[in-house]
Amino acid sequence: MKVYDCLLKELKAAYAKSGNNVAVSYSSMARYSTRPYVSDTHGGRFVQNYANKTGRAYGAYENAGTLPEGTVLAKDSFSVSGGGKVAIGPLFIMEKMRAGFNSDSGDWRYTMIMPNGSVFGTTKGKGADSVEFCIGCHMSVTPDQDSIMLLPEEYRVR
């Protein structure tokens, strides 16, 4: 989708306003989606999936197993209205923390950064209640998926 290529610079600039290290650098991580796809679990927005080097096993999808501490996953997002207007959506971040960080989240820290650069919430941080729904949704997948929602097969980088 060419819209994403045109929008990427704007996405990066918007999220970088947060000062969050992942928001500043996520686009330099490996991308595991071949093109934007609609994620119903992320508000029906178009998303792209990224993972850092520590989390490269993410690319094994169902066979990824438990991802190691230091894994960072990110999904940038945008929407397109019926009239064709494009709008930047939030950046969704998952970071695998040390064992014991938060058993309720499988030791994942969730952060959502809004298009204006504000942090909507971070697990065990400011606005933690605002990202509790992330934990509930991600913890609903089978335990052998380590709380990872898998992207549809037709959009996976092989």
Tokens 């994620």 sit on residue? 39
pTM of the model: 0.96
pLDDT in tens, 37-68: 999 999 999 999 999 999 999 999 999 999 99
Which of 13-27, 69-83, 93-107, 142-156 bottoms out in mean pLDDT, i.e. has the lowest? 142-156
pLDDT in tens, 113-134: 999 999 999 999 999 999 999 9
Rg (CA), the chain: 15
Residue 2: per-residue pLDDT: 85
pLDDT in tens, 74-116: 999 999 998 989 999 999 999 999 999 999 999 999 999 999 9
Burial class of residue 19 in the structure, from the number of CB atoms within 10 Å of its CB (0-12 exposed, 13-18 middle, 19+ buried): exposed
2-155 belongs to which CATH class? alpha beta
Residue 144: per-residue pLDDT: 82
Percentages helix, strand, coil for the chain (3-state, rounded to 5) are 35, 25, 35
Distance CA 112, CA 130 (A): 9
Burial class of residue 100 in the structure, from the number of CB atoms within 10 Å of its CB (0-12 exposed, 13-18 middle, 19+ buried): exposed
**Which residue stretches of the chain are H helix?**
2-16, 21-25, 132-138
Distance of CA 51 to the CA centre of its chain: 9
